[in-house]
Amino acid sequence: MADIEQILGDLNKDSFVSLLTNIIGESKYVQNNPPDLIPEEDRVVKHVLNSLLPYSTTTGGGPLIVNHVSYYPQRGNLIVEYPGTEQGKILSFVGMHMDVVTANPNEWEFDPFSLSIDGEKLCGRGTTDCLGHVALVTELMKKLGETKPKLKSTVVAVFIANEENSSITGVGVDALVKDGLLNKLKGGPLFWIDTADKQPCIGTGGMIPWKLHVTGKLFHSGLPHKAINPLELGMEALKEIQSRFYKDFPPHKEEQVYGFATPSTMKPTQWSYPGGGINQIPAECTISGDVRLTPFYSVKDVMNKLQKHVDDINENIEKLDTRGPVSKYTLPEENLRGSLAVTFDEASSGVACNLKSRGFEVLCKATEKIVGHVKPYSITGTLPLIRELKDEGFDVQTVGYGLMATYHAKNEYCLLSDMCQGYQIFTSIISQLED
């Protein structure tokens, strides 16, 4: 039904840039870094409503059904529907979160909290992730409301308050699913618009944050034979745990099918100790890090295995490699042993999208048509909410039209031409699903 694409036309660049200017102007107030910075997503909702209400049933100006849903003050979600003619036939665009990561203006080449334009570059915090997508999908829904094409499918857009990196839970997709407000979206493909580079992202990783607390014995560094050095114990123990991890969870054959850039990994990212003089061997230290797990392995299995390995090392700590002639992890004359304890923060599972679904099929066809090629990819970055949606029975596919190179980065920007292609892909998907 090429006529649907003709009716919806191309992205209205002037309208899109005007809306994005207003939304990026709110980015300072939707930074997400609790407890200091709690996003106020309703600041963004205000601008989306200003664009869509004139074409809504709320004002009598059009067919759009608009539902502003809040579970916490100033942290609203927005569900917008363009009704179709066939009951139960649904197409949805979800995942356009209305918060941003933090930005320090002193470290940027331009003001992160206002939109600046440099040729095709649209510069500012949130242009790639994810306020650019908020504006893009708003323009799509606005065009549906303006042109009123006759569609079989109901088209739904869900702009969300983001629960990730937040001390306040139950404000976004989780709450909407719990309340049954998204149940109807199971009637068709759900496109999660929150990645980058215009290609289908077909797999994401799980994440297991871990802490390895190491206990030794404090003593003067000039008498190391009377100490149990927790730093050395931690390094050797972690080396052994990592070695066992990679034997337990080697590269999986499905990772090549999905195009994962890396297999599952376990690595340290932080190290802390209570402090002290440089001539003092400390009593304890903590190594922290994460496991990034491809979706073909179980998060629970990994946590159980790591706990088992730590227990085994504690029982056989004498067998662990030492560092130098007086390095040791036991002091038998004092009945002391070094020890390890592993703990885990909240973990999340990755997702492997259904490569045989109708949603994947139409996304690939639309991408090839508009971009000129289709090359799905996978990353071990996390999108925990989409795993939960898939487990709930949704046909989830993920894609985005910002730039991975500027994702969460300083001097973030997106390209207007990419957003224009994203709009065309959306209209192609709508058209295909009408056939």
Provide the whole-model pTM.
0.88
Residues 30 and 160 in one domain: yes
Q: Encoding tokens for residue 140?
A: 């799509």
Query: What does each C-alpha distance from 279 to 178, 248, 275, 295 come to in angstroms?
Result: 56, 39, 11, 46
Q: Encoding tokens for residue 96?
A: 């356009």
CATH number reported for the structural domain that contains residue 19 in this entry: 3.40.630.10
Residue among 273, 285, 276, 272 at smallest CA distance from 221? 276
CB 162 within 8 A of CB 97: yes
* Residue 273 dihedral angles phi and psi, to the nearest 5°: -150, 165
**Residue 373: CB atoms within 10 Å:** 8
Q: Encoding tokens for residue 52?
A: 């869509």
Residues 328 and 404 in one domain: no
Residues 128 and 57 in one domain: yes
Residues 171 and 43 in one domain: yes
Q: Beta partners for 123?
A: 116, 413
Looking at residue 252, the DSSP 8-state letter turns out to be: P
Q: Is the dihedral of CA 144, 148, 150, 156 positive or negative?
A: positive
- Transcribe 18-33 into DSSP letters: HHHHHHHTTGGGGB-B
Among 344, 377, 412, identify where a domain stops: 344
Among 314, 344, 374, identify where a domain stops: 344
Residue among 281, 264, 290 at smallest CA distance from 212? 290
Interacting residues of 332 by C-beta distance below 8 A, sequence separation 6+: none
Is 255 a known active-site residue? Answer: no
Q: Encoding tokens for residue 142?
A: 């606005």
Residue among 138, 121, 127, 114 at smallest CA distance from 25? 114
Residues 171 and 92 in one domain: yes
Residue among 138, 140, 224 at smallest CA distance from 424? 140
| Catalytic pick among 42, 129, 163, 290 | 163
Q: Encoding tokens for residue 50?
A: 């200003």
Looking at residue 409, the DSSP 8-state letter turns out to be: -
Residues 227 and 186 in one domain: no
Among 325, 344, 363, identify where a domain stops: 344
Cα angle for residues 169, 172, 175 (degrees, 5° grid): 75
Residues 247 and 377 in one domain: no
3-class secondary structure for 200-237? CEEEECEEEEEEEEEECECEECCCHHHCECHHHHHHHH
| Catalytic pick among 5, 99, 284, 395 | 99
Interacting residues of 299 by C-beta distance below 8 A, sequence separation 6+: 206, 208, 293, 347, 348, 349
CB 313 within 8 A of CB 340: yes
What is the C-alpha separation between 163 and 207, in angstroms, rounded?
A: 16
CATH number reported for the structural domain that contains residue 302 in this entry: 3.30.70.360
What is the C-alpha separation between 127 and 297, in angstroms, rounded?
A: 34
Helix (H, G, I), strand (E, B) or coil at 228: strand
What is the C-alpha separation between 263 and 272, in angstroms, rounded?
A: 28
Q: Encoding tokens for residue 333?
A: 């004359």
Is 361 a known active-site residue? Answer: no
Residue among 353, 331, 348, 82 at smallest CA distance from 215? 331
The domain of 311 spans 206-344
What single letter denotes the amino acid at residue 283?
A: A
What are the residue ranges in the chain where pLDDT is below 50?
1
Residues 183 and 252 in one domain: no
Q: Encoding tokens for residue 384?
A: 């925990």
CB 317 within 8 A of CB 337: yes
pLDDT at 388: 84
Residues 166 and 231 in one domain: no
Catalogue the long-range contacts made by 308-312 (C-beta closer than 8 Å, 24 or more residues apart).
309/240, 309/241, 309/244, 309/245, 310/212, 310/237, 310/241, 310/340, 310/341, 310/342
* Structure confidence by residue, pLDDT tens digits, 169-179: 789 998 999 99
What single letter denotes the amino acid at residue 49?
A: L
What is the C-alpha separation between 427 and 433, in angstroms, rounded?
A: 10
Residues 214 and 174 in one domain: no
- Transcribe 395-408 into DSSP letters: EEEEE--B-GGGTT
Residues 71 and 114 in one domain: yes
What is the C-alpha separation between 308 and 163, in angstroms, rounded?
A: 32
Establish how many alpha carbons lie within 13 A of residue 62's alpha carbon, considering only the half-sphere containing its beta carbon: 21
pLDDT at 164: 66
Residues 393 and 306 in one domain: no
Total number of domains constituting the chain: 2
**DSSP run (H or E) holding 341:** strand 339-344
Residue among 175, 179, 134 at smallest CA distance from 157? 134
